[in-house]
Amino acid sequence: MTISKGDKLPDATLLQMGENGPESVTLSDKTAGRKVVIFAVPGAFTPTCHSAHVPSFIRTKDQFAEKGVDEIMCISVNDPFVMRAWGKDTGAADAGITMLGDPDSAFTKAIGMDFDAPPAGLVARSKRYAMLVEDGTVTVLHQEESPGTCEVSGGEAMLAAL
């Protein structure tokens, strides 16, 4: 079942790079008592993700902060090493966007946002979406119909929904 507005996020452990290597991040800890935006992409360094989705949140980060958003997180079914490199390459890390890996797609599958596109080399990947989460509950959810488009899930569209 796909997650919907009003649903509580399942507890999940994701990975990010810390000073001494990969570190576990418990999503419930990151969202408890906070207002966060989570956006997910099919893959780091893939065309739409790299040139449209991440840049849209870099452009709008300050405006989200003005609306009370505590943190913006990007999730991809990639390892934390790739997510760190991608965050550096795009400027997301410098902008303060938290880059999180869901390497075995456990979280992505738990919220029903997984898909496969073997001809493109994408297996067990995340659909493209963005959500506003308040104290662990989804209050806004924008999912793209196609993984190659970034319209309703981009930073500007999410900002307009707040």
Q: What are phi and psi of 49, to 5 degrees?
A: -60, -45
The predicted-structure confidence for 10-29, as pLDDT tens digits, reads as follows 999 999 999 999 999 999 99
Q: Which position among 3, 14, 49, 138 bears the catalytic label?
A: 49
74 has catalytic annotation = no
Distance CA 134, CA 6 (A): 10
Q: What is the pLDDT of residue 71?
A: 98
Q: Model-level pTM?
A: 0.95
How far apart are the C-alpha atoms of 134 and 150, rounded to whole Å? 23
In this structure, how many other beta carbons lie within 10 angstroms of the beta carbon of residue 35?
Answer: 17
Domains of the chain in start order, with CATH, are 13-161 (3.40.30.10)
Task: Round to whole Å and give the CA distance between 154 and 25.
Answer: 24
CA distance 26 to 11: 7
Between CA 132 and CA 157 the distance in angstroms is 12
The pLDDT confidence band at residue 35, using thresholds 50, 70 and 90, is very high
Which pLDDT belongs to residue 115? 85
Whether the CB-CB separation of 155 and 57 falls below 8 Å is answered with yes
Contacts of 42 (CB under 8 A, 6+ apart): 48, 49, 76, 77, 115, 117, 122, 125, 126, 127, 128, 147
Residue 84 has pLDDT above 90, yes or no: yes
